[in-house]
Chain A
Amino acid sequence: MKQVVVTGLGAVSPYGAGVAEFWKGLAGGACAIRDLTLIETDGFRCRLAAEVPEPLGGSARRTRADRLAIAAAGEALADAGLGARDCAAAALVVGAVGGGMLEAEAWYWRTARAGTRPASLSALRAVLPSAHAETLGSRFGLGGPRHTVVTACSSGAVALAEASELIAAGVVDVALAGGVDAITRICFMGFNALKLLDPAPCRPFDRERRGMSIGEGAGFMVLETEARARARGARVYATLAGHGMTTDAFHVTAPEPEGDGMVRAMRAALAGGGITPAEVQYANAHGTGTPQNDRIEARALARVFGEGGLLVSSSKSMIGHTMAAAGSLEAIATVLALGHDLVPPTANLATPDPDVPFDCVPRTARATRLRCAISNSFGFGGQNVTLLFRRSVA
C-alpha cells in the first residue's frame, strides 16, 4: 500500500477566502457565528450561522456552493503546483450534501408564492450533489476516476478517505478531494425543527451547551503518493496515515449511546497508520455542541485514548457546522495544527463539562509539540469517519 501525503490545501471558510485567512481565524480563536443574512429566519428559534463573507468570487451565474468549491479547489491545485497533464490523470472525489439546493429553493419558493413556474432552467441544473464534481472536473480538466459521496455531516472526510484509497491501491498517483456546502433553507429549518440548534453561538464541550450552529464553506486537499511528491520536490504538509469508516446502524438521527461506531472508526484509523493511541497528541473533534454528540464522543475518545490522553478541541465552535465541508475543512485545520505545533481552541467554552475528561483547549490556542493528530466526523445516520494525520518529516 502506498503512502499518501498532502501536497495542497484550499479553503473558503466563514472567515473568508483562503487557507491563510482560515488558519488566522482558527489560531486566534475567533468565532464567526453571527446573524444569518442569506435566507429568511423569522419565526425560528435559532437565527444564526457562520456564513462565508462577501465577496464570493467567481461567476454569479453559478450556484453559491459551486463558487465555494471552485475557489477552494483552485487554491489547492495551485498550492500543490499541479499542471494540466497532472490534472488530466487526477482522481476527483467530492463530499456534498446540499449541492445547489439554495438556488433551487429560491426557485421553488418563488414558484409556490407566485403560482407560476419561472422559465429559467439554470436554478435546477446544478441542484444535485454530483454537480460539483462535474463543475470542478470540467473547470480544472480532471479526467481520472470521479465520484461524489453523500454521507451527511461526514461527507468531506469521506471524500478524503476515498481519495486516499484510490492512491493507496495504485489506481491513481494524485487526487483532488474535499467537501463543500452552502447554507440552505432546508438545512436551517430542519435542524431548527429538530431543536438541535443553540439560539446562541454553539458551545462544544461546555456544561451549558444547548446545540449546534450551522455554517458553510469548502475545503479541498491535493493528495499524492509520497514517492511522487518527493520526486517532484513538492511541499509535503503531512501524511494521511490512516482512516476508519463505520456505521452505527442504530437510528437515523440519534447517535448510538455507547459510541461503539465512533470507537471502531478511531481504532481502524490508528491501525491503518500503525500508530498507538499514546502517539496521538490531538483530536479535532466532531464536537457539534449538542448535549448528546459531545457526551458520546468524549466517552468514545476516553475508551480509545484514555481519559485526558490527548488534547481535544472543536473547530465547529468557531466556524459552525459546515455540513459536507466540515470533514475536509477540519482535516485542513488538523494538518495546519501539525505544521504549526499549535492546537486551535474551542471557542465559547466558559465552563468545561465535568463529564468530559479532556482538556478541550478553552478559548486560546495551545502551543505544543504535535506528531500525530486525528480528525473526527460523525454524520447523521451514524456515518462515522476518523482521519489520522502524521507530521511530515521533511
Chain B
Amino acid sequence: MARVVITGVGVVSAAVSGDSAALGAFLAAPFAPAAGALGAGAVAVLVDPGESRRLSRVCQFTIAAARLALRESGLDPAAGLGLVVGTEFGDLASTHAFADGFLARGPGGLSALLFPNTVMNTMVATTAIAVGARELALTLNAPTVAGELAVARATAAVASGRVPAVLAGGVDELDPVVEHELKRFGLDAERRAEGAAFLVLEPRVAAEARGAPVLGEISAAAWRALPARPWGVGRTCRAPAIEAVLEAADEARDRWEEQVLGAALGSAAPVSTLGRLLGRHAGLGVLRVAAGAWTARSGLLPATDGAARVERVRPGRGLVHGLARGGTHVALVVDAA
C-alpha cells in the first residue's frame, strides 16, 4: 500500500479562496464568521468566458477549486489522474430550472444545455473535461460528510495503486428552493454555506520524486454506517490522535459525537469545529482535511468560539471526523509531512 500525501489544495468559498498558503493565512488570522453565498469574482479568474457560458454555477466553482489545487501541486494530468467529488445536493439549481422551462412553456421550453446538469455527476463530468482527468471519476452523494467521504475514497484509490493520482473534492451550492424548503420544515438549524475544495493526493514516493510540495499525509481513512443495531458505533475511531477536529451539525449530534470520540480516544483533545464558523457544505468537508494537515504541520488550531482566536497545540497528528444525519461517519488521520 502506498503512503498517500497531499500535494495541492484549492478552495473557493465566501470566506477564503486560494491554495494551501491562502488557507493557512486565513486559519491563522483572527476572522469573523463568514458563512454565506459566494461572490462571483473568486471564480471568474479561473474559468474563462468561453467555458463558463456552458457551465452551471456549481460546476464553475468545482473547476476553479480543482484548478487551484492542481496548479499548487504542479501535477501533469496526462500522467494519469482520477477524480472523486462528494456533494450533498449536486446541481439542484439546474434541475428545477429545467423543470421550470417545461412548466412555463411545455416541451419547447426544455433546455438541452441544462439537461446534463440534472444528473449529479455533472460537476465531475465537466471538471474531468476541464482538467483532463481520464482515470476513475466518481461522484459520491451523502448527507453532511460527502467531502470527507470523497477524500477517504480517493485515499484508498491512491494507496491501492489503482490510480497514479487523484483530485479529491467536495462541492455544494446554496440553492434558494432547497433553503426555502429546509426552513419551512424547521431543518435550518444547521448553518449552511457553499463552496468547493480540492486536494491533490499522490503516493509519497512519486510526490518526492517530482519535487512536489508535501503538505501532509493521510495515514488512515475509514467510513462506516450505523446499522439498526449499534454494533458499528465507535469502530471507525480507533486511530490514536493528539488533536481532534470535531464536526457536528446540531446539539444532539455534537454531544453524541463527543461521547463516541471520548470513548474511542480516551483523551480530552483540543477540538476545532470549522462548520460552526464557516457553515456546512461538502466543500467544507474537504477543507477540514486541509485544515487538519495545516494544524498538524503548524501546531496552530483555529478556535471557533466567538473570540475566533488561534490556539497553540502540539504539532504532529490530527483526526478529522465527520458524522452525518443518518449515521454515516468518516474518520481520517492526518499527519504532518
Direct touch of chains A and B (CB < 8 A) = yes
Within 8 A of A (CB), among B116-173: 116, 118-122, 124-126, 128-129, 131-143, 149, 153, 156, 160, 162
Other-chain contact of A147, B142, B162, B229 (Cβ < 8 Å)? B142
Task: Please give the distance in Å from B14's CB to the nearest CB on chain A.
Answer: 24
Q: Evaluate contact between A128 and B231: CB separation under 8 angstroms.
A: no
Residues of B contacting A113 in the complex (Cβ-Cβ under 8 angstroms): 103
Within 8 A of B (CB), among A168-206: 169, 171, 185-186, 189-194
User: What is the size category of the interface that chain A forms with chain B?
Assistant: 35 or more
Q: Evaluate contact between A124 and B181: CB separation under 8 angstroms.
A: yes
A394 contacts the other chain (Cβ, under 8 Å)?
A: no
Given contacts A146-B223, A147-B140, A381-B121, contact A252 B229 (CB under 8 A): no
Q: Evaluate contact between B119 and A150: CB separation under 8 angstroms.
A: yes
A129 contacts the other chain (Cβ, under 8 Å)?
A: yes
Q: Evaluate contact between B137 and A189: CB separation under 8 angstroms.
A: no
CA distance A1 to B103 in the complex (A): 52
Contact string, A122-156, partner B, CB cutoff 8 A, digits 1/0? 00100011100110011001111111111110000
B53 contacts the other chain (Cβ, under 8 Å)?
A: no
Residues of B contacting A261 in the complex (Cβ-Cβ under 8 angstroms): 134
Residues of B contacting A193 in the complex (Cβ-Cβ under 8 angstroms): 107, 110-112, 115
Contact string, B225-240, partner A, CB cutoff 8 A, digits 1/0? 1111101100000000
Residues of A contacting B3 in the complex (Cβ-Cβ under 8 angstroms): none
Q: Evaluate contact between A189 and B116: CB separation under 8 angstroms.
A: no
Given contacts A105-B99, A144-B224, contact A97 B134 (CB under 8 A): no
Residues of B contacting A382 in the complex (Cβ-Cβ under 8 angstroms): 125, 128
Task: Please give the distance in Å from B306's CB to the nearest CB on chain A.
Answer: 33
Residues of B contacting A117 in the complex (Cβ-Cβ under 8 angstroms): 184
Other-chain contact of A97, B88, B112, B120, B160 (Cβ < 8 Å)? B120
Which of these binds chain B: A241-249, A276-284, A305-313?
A: A241-249
Task: Please give the distance in Å from A193's CB to the nearest CB on chain B.
Answer: 4
B95 contacts the other chain (Cβ, under 8 Å)?
A: yes
Q: Evaluate contact between B141 and A96: CB separation under 8 angstroms.
A: yes
Q: Evaluate contact between B96 and A108: CB separation under 8 angstroms.
A: yes
Other-chain contact of B141, A87, A128, A138, A152 (Cβ < 8 Å)? A128
Given contacts A186-B99, A193-B115, A247-B128, contact A144 B110 (CB under 8 A): no
Residues of B contacting A129 in the complex (Cβ-Cβ under 8 angstroms): 120, 141
Task: Please give the distance in Å from A340's CB to the nearest CB on chain B.
Answer: 32
Q: Evaluate contact between A169 and B137: CB separation under 8 angstroms.
A: no
B304 contacts the other chain (Cβ, under 8 Å)?
A: no
Number of chain B residues close to chain A: CB under 8 A:
62
Other-chain contact of B231, A121, A143, A169, A379 (Cβ < 8 Å)? A143
Residues of A contacting B136 in the complex (Cβ-Cβ under 8 angstroms): 245-247
Given contacts A121-B185, A137-B227, A193-B110, contact A152 B134 (CB under 8 A): no
CA distance A374 to B72 in the complex (A): 40
Residues of B contacting A379 in the complex (Cβ-Cβ under 8 angstroms): 121
B196 contacts the other chain (Cβ, under 8 Å)?
A: no
> Interface residues of A: mostly helix, strand, loop or mixed?
mixed
Contact string, A64-97, partner B, CB cutoff 8 A, digits 1/0? 0000000000000000000010011100100011
Residues of B contacting A145 in the complex (Cβ-Cβ under 8 angstroms): 222-225
Contact string, B77-115, partner A, CB cutoff 8 A, digits 1/0? 000000100001110000110111011001100111001
Task: Please give the distance in Å from A249's CB to the nearest CB on chain B.
Answer: 4
Residue of B nearest to A124 (CB): B181
User: Quick one: which of A44, A185, A245, A381 has the most chain B CB within 10 A?
Assistant: A381
Residues of A contacting B134 in the complex (Cβ-Cβ under 8 angstroms): 246-249, 261, 264
User: Quick one: which of A89, A143, A171, A379 has the most chain B CB within 10 A?
Assistant: A143
CA distance A87 to B119 in the complex (A): 30
Residues of B contacting A252 in the complex (Cβ-Cβ under 8 angstroms): 116, 122, 125-126, 129
Given contacts A44-B107, A169-B156, A246-B134, contact A190 B98 (CB under 8 A): yes
Q: Evaluate contact between A381 and B116: CB separation under 8 angstroms.
A: yes
Residues of A contacting B106 in the complex (Cβ-Cβ under 8 angstroms): 43
Task: Please give the distance in Å from A25's CB to the nearest CB on chain B.
Answer: 27
Supply 7 A–B pairs (Cβ within 8 Å), ascending by A: A87-B227, A108-B96, A144-B225, A169-B160, A247-B83, A249-B131, A383-B125
Tell me the A residues contacting B by CB distance below 8 Å. Answer: 43-44, 84, 87-89, 92, 96-97, 105, 108-109, 112-113, 117, 121, 124, 128-130, 133-134, 137-138, 141-152, 158, 162, 165, 169, 171, 185-186, 189-194, 245-253, 261, 264, 379-383
Query: Top 5 closest A-B pairs, CB basis?
Result: A381-B125, A143-B227, A143-B232, A190-B115, A146-B225
New A-B pairs, 5, CB < 8 Å, besides A247-B128, A382-B125, A383-B137: A148-B140, A245-B137, A249-B131, A249-B134, A379-B121
